[in-house]
Structure 1
C-alpha cells in the first residue's frame, strides 16, 4: 500500500493575504513531505469558495513537483465537465514533462451546482459531458487525433498535442467511481478506481468485488488496476486533538453537503456551519482514520484487506488548527509510514 497526502485547501477567510499564507504553508509542507516516505501529493479542484482554494490544481502541482522532486503528483480530482479537453491535454502533457513523468490524473464529474453555474454548464448533463470529455482527452494524450465530432466538443483539424507526456501511452488515469455505471466505464478503459472518502472497509470491499465482476463481464480483468481512497486522518493520542479532528471532519461533511445542495457562497466564503450536527459528528468519529500509530496501522491493514492499494491522507480539514494538523502529519510520517 502507498500513502499519499491530499490537500483540500480549506480557507475560512478568502482575502488575498489568507490565500498567500495558505499557499506558502502548502509548499512548506510539500517540501517537508518530500523528505519522508509519502508516495505523492494530490490536489482537488473546486471553484468560487474557500471550501477549497484549489481552482488551479495544475499550477499548484507544478510548484509541488519542483518542491518535492521525489514525489508523484496527482489531481484528486479534476472536475472534467468544466474543462475543454484539447487545452487540458496540453496542460497535462506539459506537467508530466516538467515533473519527469510523475503525474497521476484523477478525474470525476463534480457535484457542486454553483461551480457548474459559474462556468455556464448544466449539472444535469455532467455525465454525458464527462464521458465525452474523457474519451477525447485520452485520445489526445495517447497520440494524434485526426478529427472529433461530439455533442459538446469537436476537433476540426488534425492535431498532435505537444509536448507529449513522458509516461506512455499516457499518465495513469484514476476515476472517482462509486456507481456500477461509473465503475464499468472505468474498468472498460483500464482506469484505476477512487472510492468514497467516508466508505467503510466493508463498503470498499464490496465496491472492489463489483469492479472485479464488471471487469470480468467486459473481458478485461482487474490485473494491474489500482484501488485508491481518500481518508481524513488524525494521528495522535491527545483526546482533545482527536475531538477537534472529529468535529472538523463533521464540519467538512456539512459544508460539502450544503454546497452539493446548491448553497451559493456569499463573497466566496465557505458555508462552514456554526453548529455541528451530532449525527455528522458520530459519522465522522466512525470514519476518521484516528488514534495512536499502532491503531492507525491496524485501520490501514483493514483497508488493504478490502483491496485498497493507495490511501491519500488528508491531515487538514474543516477549521482544524494548522499546528494540530502538522503534529498529526509528523507523527504519522515518523511512526506509521516506516511500516
Structure 2
C-alpha cells in the first residue's frame, strides 16, 4: 500500500494572511515530496476560504516548481463547472508544466452551495451525468480531432492543444461512493478515489466490495487502482486525540453547512451549523471520531491502516485539510515518514520476497 496526502490552501479567519496560508501549503508539499509520498492531491472549490482552490491546475503547476518526484493530482475537478475543450487543454498543459506528473481526478461535485453559484443551481446529484459525458469527450480531445454532440455540450471538430505529455493520457481517477459510479469508472478504465467520510470501519469494507464487484464485472479492463482518504492526524502522545477530534467536529459542522446548504457564508467563511442541524449525529460523538478516523499514535495508526491494506486499498490518502493546526499537520507527515511508511515498505518487500520464493 502506497501513501498520498490531500492538501489545499485553507483559512478559517480573515486574520490569517494569505502569505501564511501559501507558506504552510508549500512547506507541507515539500515534506511530502522529500518523505516519499506517492501523490499530492488538491481539490477544486470556489468562493470558500476553507478550500482555496478555484483552479487546482494552477496550484499543481506552482507546487511542481518546488518538488521533484511526487505525483500531482486533482481531487477533484468538478465536472459541471467545465467546458470539455477548456478542461482538455488546461489539463494537458498542466501535464507538460509538471513534467508529466499529473494525475487527473474528476467528480460530480459535492457542495450544493457551490452548485447554486457555479452550475445554475442544478441539484448536486445531477453532476454525475455531466461527469459521464465530459470524461469520454476529454479523452477523445486529447487524442486528436473530435466533434461532440451531447446533452450538455456541443462543438464542431477540434482537438486539445496541447496534447498531454503522458501518453496516451494522464491517469484518470473518478470519485465514487455509489455502485453505479464504481461500475462506470472502471468500465471506462479509470481508477477510483473514495472515502468512508466519518463512518465506522465497516464502511471501508462496503466501499472495497463495490470496487471488487466492479472489477470482477469488467474482466476486459486491466485492474485499476483504488485510493481511499480519511481525515488524518498522528501524534506522539496518546492524549493527542483531543485536539484532532475537536478540529474534526468543528470542521464537520462547517462541512454540513455547505453540503446541506443550510447555513450562512460571510465573505467566503462558512459558519458552523448548530449541532442540532447535523446529520448522522453518531459521527460527532468524540469516541466515534477518535475510533473511526485516522487519529492515533504511530502504532495506533498502523493498526488502523492494516484494515485498509486488507481491504485492497492501493493508496491511502491523508486528509489533512480540516483546519488542523499547521504544527499538527507537519508532525503527522513527519511521523508517517519516520515510523509508518517504513513499516509498510518492509511488509511490501517481504511479500515480494515470499512471492519470488514461491
SS across alignment from 1:163? coil
CA distance in 1, matches of 2:50, 2:295: 23
- Post-superposition shift, 1:272? 3.3
- Post-superposition shift, 1:289? 1.0
CA distance in 2, matches of 1:44, 1:213: 28
CA distance in 1, matches of 2:217, 2:56: 35
Match of 2:166 in 1: 167
SS across alignment from 1:338? helix
1:292 is the counterpart of 2:297:
yes
CA distance in 2, matches of 1:260, 1:164: 36
- Post-superposition shift, 1:133? 1.5
Match of 1:139 in 2: 140
CA distance in 1, matches of 2:217, 2:189: 14
CA distance in 1, matches of 2:290, 2:122: 32
- Post-superposition shift, 1:64? 1.1
Change (3 A) 1:215 1:250: same
- Post-superposition shift, 1:328? 2.3
CA distance in 2, matches of 1:28, 1:117: 34
Match of 1:243 in 2: 242
- Post-superposition shift, 1:241? 2.8
8 Å CA contact 2:256–2:273 kept in 1: the answer is no
1:321 is the counterpart of 2:325:
yes
Change (3 A) 1:152 1:326: same
Please list every run of at least 4 consecutive aligned residues from structure 1 whose deviation after the TM superposition is greater than 4 angstroms.
273-278
CA distance in 1, matches of 2:112, 2:83: 19
- Post-superposition shift, 1:281? 3.6
Gaps of 5+ in 1: none
CA distance in 2, matches of 1:20, 1:115: 25
Match of 1:62 in 2: 61
8 Å CA contact 1:241–1:324 kept in 2: the answer is no
* Stretch of structure 1 that moved more, 59-68 or 26-35: 26-35
SS across alignment from 2:227? strand
Match of 2:341 in 1: 337
CA distance in 1, matches of 2:239, 2:219: 51
Gaps of 5+ in 2: 344-358
* Stretch of structure 1 that moved more, 238-247 or 147-156: 238-247
Change (3 A) 1:186 1:200: farther
* Stretch of structure 1 that moved more, 129-138 or 166-175: 129-138
- Post-superposition shift, 1:274? 7.7
SS across alignment from 1:73? strand
Match of 1:50 in 2: 49
Match of 1:269 in 2: 269
Alignment deviations for residues 14-70 of structure 1 (CA, whole Å, 9 cap, x no partner): 47x622321121112212322111112110111111221122211111111111121
Q: TM-score, normalised by structure 1?
A: 0.91
CA distance in 2, matches of 1:316, 1:173: 23
CA distance in 2, matches of 1:104, 1:77: 10
CA distance in 2, matches of 1:146, 1:76: 27
SS across alignment from 1:21? helix
Q: TM-score, normalised by structure 2?
A: 0.86
Change (3 A) 1:20 1:190: same
* Stretch of structure 1 that moved more, 20-29 or 304-313: 20-29
Q: What is the root-mean-square deviation of aligned Cα atoms in Å?
A: 2.2
**What aligned pairs does 1:150-299 form with structure 2 within 5 A after superposition?**
150-156=150-156, 158-198=157-197, 199-220=199-220, 223-262=222-261, 263-272=263-272, 279=282, 280-282=284-286, 283-299=288-304
SS across alignment from 2:265? coil
- Post-superposition shift, 1:201? 4.5
8 Å CA contact 1:247–1:281 kept in 2: the answer is no
